[in-house]
């Protein structure tokens, strides 16, 4: 028995006694035997993550306070070296049994928290100076995709006092699927319409994951369309107007659902994209497109209604799309993913997203497909 484990056990015992909870009552609530709890409190046994989470929840404490050590000074993590140079800020999470270092976005109007800083990179692995403990890494949820409402999901999980921290990895639907396929995210947010069938997301998930088993869970349906300056001073009515010489476009990157919709519309209208001002300037998210228009860097862009309304822009709806979350099947029982699915199956959370974002959330949390 190490002093560390003994110290953790004593913390559990003191917290239980301070709250007047018997060993039997806490063991029953934590779904373990009284003997197992006794072994934990005596320092003879270190509980697994799920058991530690249940004990912490019952005692009204964080897992870190009860079972955590000081932050790991050095962690070896899987990383995409092309996206994270040395000294860059990263989030640390465990995906598929591996510690993953995910680059966090640069600061905008506020500093972005990080779990560590990359010290060095060798191939697909990085040495990271960590600010967080192993248990905090285990309870970090990485969600890749382009939905602005991911911040609402993060807030909901935090307000429920879950010991889970959500980190949003912004980018296109295709980049989100790439992250999922490479084990760099727990969930990939996607809105990719199959040109042949008109179906959303399932074909794209099959192509990205091959024979790996995954589930596709609905988040919401939203409106995709054209956003333009308030009052629509250029009188834009549709995609055909993008060919006009005075019109500047705020474009999304290749692999995004918005870019696919734009390119299909340009092809249908027989418009050469090379003649559109701003076509080659790519932005990584729906809010970025709306911000570019609001700041007069562009006149029009393909985005979703919630982004346009957030910046007070006019909006012309093109179609309704289904935004889903793809999850590798073996991650469904992990603590971070379980917390996310709990939120998605809450009618109160669905109502909050509906009211704040004008999304259709009637099928939120429903499994819309399985991929094998």
- Quick: pLDDT tens for 55-81: 888 888 776 677 765 455 567 788 865
| Domain range annotation of the chain | 3-67
Q: Helices 150-159 and 347-357, interaxial angle, to 10°?
A: 140
pLDDT at 122 over 80: yes
CA dist., res. 38 & res. 368, Å (int): 44
* Percentage of the chain modeled with pLDDT above 90: 62
Asked if residues 114 and 54 have their Cβ atoms less than 8 Å apart, the reply is no
The residue-averaged pLDDT of 182-210 equals: 94
Q: Where do runs of H (alpha helix) occur along 256-316?
A: 257-268, 286-294, 305-310
The residue-averaged pLDDT of 170-194 equals: 95
Give the pLDDT of residue 3. Answer: 47
| Closest residue by Cα to residue 210 from 176, 185, 255, 178 | 178
Give the pLDDT of residue 1. Answer: 44
pLDDT at 135 over 90: no
pLDDT higher for 126 or 239?
239
User: Residues 181, 184, 189, CA angle at the centre, nearest 5°?
Assistant: 70
Give the pLDDT of residue 96. Answer: 85
Asked if residues 195 and 264 have their Cβ atoms less than 8 Å apart, the reply is yes
Give the pLDDT of residue 325. Answer: 98
- pLDDT tier at 304, thresholds 50, 70, 90: very high
Highest mean pLDDT among 38-52, 56-70, 189-203, 293-307: 293-307
The residue-averaged pLDDT of 349-366 equals: 96
Give the pLDDT of residue 211. Answer: 87
The residue-averaged pLDDT of 305-328 equals: 96
Mean residue pLDDT of the chain comes to 89
| Helices and strands, number each (H, E), in the chain | 14, 14
pLDDT higher for 65 or 114?
114
Structure token pair of residue 101: 């270092």
- pLDDT tier at 110, thresholds 50, 70, 90: low
Asked if residues 337 and 246 have their Cβ atoms less than 8 Å apart, the reply is no
Give the pLDDT of residue 106. Answer: 66
pLDDT at 186 over 50: yes
Give the pLDDT of residue 80. Answer: 67
The residue-averaged pLDDT of 240-248 equals: 94
Give the pLDDT of residue 70. Answer: 46
CA dist., res. 105 & res. 114, Å (int): 10
Q: Which CATH superfamily is domain 3-67 in?
A: lambda repressor-like DNA-binding domains (1.10.260.40)
The residue-averaged pLDDT of 228-257 equals: 95
- pLDDT tier at 44, thresholds 50, 70, 90: confident
């Amino acid at each position: 028995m190490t002093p560390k484990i003994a110290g953790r056990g004593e913390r559990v015992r003191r917290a239980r006694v301070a709250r007047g909870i018997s060993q039997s009552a806490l063991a029953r609530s934590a779904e373990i035997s009284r003997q197992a709890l006794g072994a934990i409190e005596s320092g003879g046994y270190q509980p697994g993550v799920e058991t530690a989470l249940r004990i912490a929840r019952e005692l009204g404490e964080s897992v870190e306070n009860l079972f955590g050590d000081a932050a790991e000074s050095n962690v070896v993590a899987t990383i995409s070296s092309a996206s994270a140079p040395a000294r860059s800020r990263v989030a640390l999470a465990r995906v598929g049994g591996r510690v993953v270092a995910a680059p966090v976005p640069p600061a905008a109007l506020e500093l972005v928290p990080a779990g560590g800083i990359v010290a060095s990179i060798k191939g697909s692995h990085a040495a990271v100076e960590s600010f967080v403990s192993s248990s905090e890494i285990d309870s970090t949820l990485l969600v890749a995709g382009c939905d602005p409402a991911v911040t609402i999901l993060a807030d909901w999980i935090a307000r429920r006092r879950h010991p889970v921290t959500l980190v949003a990895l912004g980018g296109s639907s295709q980049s989100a699927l790439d992250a999922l396929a490479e084990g760099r995210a727990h969930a990939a947010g996607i809105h990719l319409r199959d040109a042949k069938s008109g179906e959303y997301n399932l074909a794209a998930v099959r192509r990205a994951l091959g024979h790996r088993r995954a589930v596709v869970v609905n988040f919401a349906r939203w409106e995709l369309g054209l956003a333009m300056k308030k009052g629509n001073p250029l009188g834009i009515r549709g995609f055909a107007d993008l060919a006009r010489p005075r019109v500047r476009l705020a474009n999304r990157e290749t692999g995004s659902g918005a870019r696919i919709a734009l390119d299909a519309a340009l092809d249908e209208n027989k418009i050469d994209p090379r003649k559109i001002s701003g076509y080659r300037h790519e932005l990584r998210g729906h809010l970025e497109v709306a911000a570019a228009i609001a700041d007069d860097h562009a006149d029009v862009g393909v985005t979703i209604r919630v982004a346009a309304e957030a910046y007070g822009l006019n909006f012309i709806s093109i179609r309704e799309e289904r935004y889903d979350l793809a999850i590798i099947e073996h991650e469904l029982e992990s603590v971070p993913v379980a917390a996310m699915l709990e939120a998605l199956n809450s009618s109160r959370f669905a109502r909050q997203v509906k009211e704040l974002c004008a999304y259709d959330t009637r099928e939120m949390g429903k499994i819309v497909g399985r991929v094998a």
